[in-house]
Structure 1
Amino acid sequence: MRVNWNYIKLAFLSVSVVALYGFADARSKKRTVSDISIKFLGDNNLYLTEDAVNKLLIQNYGPVKNRPKEQLVLNTIEEVILSDDMVKNAQVYLTVNGELISKIVQRKPIGRVEGISKFYLDDLGKRMPLSKHHSARVPIITGEITGKTLEDAYVILNYINEDDFLRKNVIGIHIESEGKYQLRFRMENFVVNLGGVDNLNEKFKNFMAFYAKATKDNSLENYAIVSLEFSNQVVCTKI
């Protein structure tokens, strides 16, 4: 009987590959986490520290460094990090060297509410707690704080942040009542009665035309109130 050595070689090779894979897999499972790396993405990294993230993991998941890799549940670690009120998004993964990498995007405040309770309004229009690590330089929101007025304030802030001049100069939004919003400017004594959030493009276009003319005439300091509430016009009250 003739022996087919090709089949024998193939069988031997297959057994060797399975054995090597099993050996490598067993060694991999025995490996521990060699280090933890916390990376904050983007330019908004002021409200949460690396130490705070490590503390959060220890309190809610237990020690991670030197822990066997097979004991880690990456989805659970992500959920722990996402539970922090300052975190917008998080991604966790292990490198081949056993390093645990956590990439974190922090939330971005665009306004600060000063009322009975104090908090930020973030770039998604959600409430965000104040941070003990940093105080954001954003417009202050005061007055009649309700769910609806905060929604409107969010619309106004989004518009302001799209305009270079307004973003640099508007320092506050005062809510007199629903549909009556007042803006305060950094360098000017007057306030701007915006009215509601309808036709913001037209209102601010009219305001910028007024501001350019009043700046040229050196008359800005003569006004106490600049009203944009009326259709296609700017109504001013002098001091």
Structure 2
Amino acid sequence: MKNWLYIVLGIVIVTITALLLGFTARQQKKVICQKVEVRILNSRYNKFLENKDVLDVIDDHGIKTKGEPLESINTLLIERLLQHSPVVRSVAAYTTINGELIIEVEQRMPIVRIIDRSLQQYFIDEEGVVLPDRIKQIAHVLVANGNIPPIAVKPGQKIVKTSIDSVRKSAVLQNVFLVAAFIAQDDFWKAQVEQIYVNDNGDMLLVPRIGDHVIVFGDASDLREKFVKLKSMYYAFNQIGWNHYKVLNLKYKNQIVCIKR
């Protein structure tokens, strides 16, 4: 008998909840939009977008918001339009029963600034997406320069899909991206390495913030192992001093070749 009571009670609760949700949805459709609130979710350190940029996109496409019924505002269209920006990773647009249109924008986060040998500049984010060299505010980001071949970069493209005229060009940029992505995910190396320089042989040289030495990294092969070896060497520096060597060469497997001053 008790089981039947529980079942009936459950059905009643579900029915009432459904009716309330339906009523709320109908009421919300009648509500007039009183406010448009833009939230740039991750703009504390890097800012590609400002609130005005988001609102301008909406206005430029003739989308009416304030003073309009919430049910007439096409939030899916707003999301699609904003998603076209190469610096936008995700967008969520929705309305509230209080008459608000909320637009939440997640920016792409740059991990490295590329300055190629033709002095063309652009950013790359953690997913390998190319970002334009126009940013309103940026905290420190790793810089990569030197003998990096210019490529036909289009903002919003992943570097693996860019138009390139040789395998070598792709390999150089891929190597830089892989090393930059590893550094960006490790707080120790993010604080330690400030520059990647590609020399005429295509080898990457890492320039540290601390210590008067250069790290010959080579390419991105055995990436993790190279950083493990380098960290072990850095622990030794606490004993022998940070300026004992002028070059640390990680190109060779299972060893570090050091050149003294």
Extract unaligned runs of 5+ from structure 1: 1-20
Counterpart check, 1:237 vs 2:237:
no
1:37 — aligned with what? 37
Q: Is the alpha carbon distance of 1:30 and 1:176 closer, same or farther for their aligned partners in structure 2, counting shifts above 3 Å?
A: same
Aligned amino acid, residue 222 of structure 2: N
Tell me which of 135, 138, 150 is aligned to 2:138: 135
Secondary structure, counterpart of 1:173 in structure 2:
strand
- Total equivalences in the alignment: 216
CA deviations over 1:17-37 (Å, ceiling 9, x no partner): xxxx9xx96x86665321101
Aligned residues of 2:45 and 2:137 also touching (Cα < 8 A): no
Q: Is the alpha carbon distance of 1:71 and 1:50 closer, same or farther for their aligned partners in structure 2, counting shifts above 3 Å?
A: same
Q: Is the alpha carbon distance of 1:205 and 1:29 closer, same or farther for their aligned partners in structure 2, counting shifts above 3 Å?
A: closer
1:225 — aligned with what? 247
Deviation at 1:151, TM superposition (A): 1.8
What does 1:1-239 correspond to in 2, within 5 Å? 31-42=31-42, 46-115=47-116, 116-143=119-146, 144-145=148-149, 146-176=169-199, 180-218=203-241, 220-239=242-261
Aligned amino acid, residue 216 of structure 2: N
Aligned residues of 1:169 and 1:186 also touching (Cα < 8 A): yes
Aligned amino acid, residue 110 of structure 1: I
Aligned residues of 1:44 and 1:107 also touching (Cα < 8 A): no
Give the TM-score of the pair, scaled to structure 2: 0.74
CA deviations over 1:50-92 (Å, ceiling 9, x no partner): 1221122212344422234343221111112212232110011
Aligned amino acid, residue 66 of structure 2: K
Extract unaligned runs of 5+ from structure 2: 1-21, 150-168
Deviation at 1:111, TM superposition (A): 0.5
Counterpart CA distance in 2 for 1:55 and 1:41 is 18
Secondary structure, counterpart of 1:36 in structure 2:
strand
Identity of aligned residues (%): 26
Name which one, 1 or 2, has greater alpha-carbon Rg: 1
Q: Is the alpha carbon distance of 1:29 and 1:165 closer, same or farther for their aligned partners in structure 2, counting shifts above 3 Å?
A: closer
Counterpart CA distance in 1 for 2:79 and 2:188 is 39
Counterpart CA distance in 1 for 2:64 and 2:86 is 21
CA deviations over 1:76-128 (Å, ceiling 9, x no partner): 11112212232110011111233111111111000011233211110111111
Secondary structure, counterpart of 1:160 in structure 2:
helix
Secondary structure, counterpart of 1:153 in structure 2:
helix
Aligned residues of 2:110 and 2:125 also touching (Cα < 8 A): yes
Aligned residues of 2:40 and 2:49 also touching (Cα < 8 A): no
Counterpart CA distance in 2 for 1:61 and 1:86 is 22
Aligned amino acid, residue 35 of structure 1: K
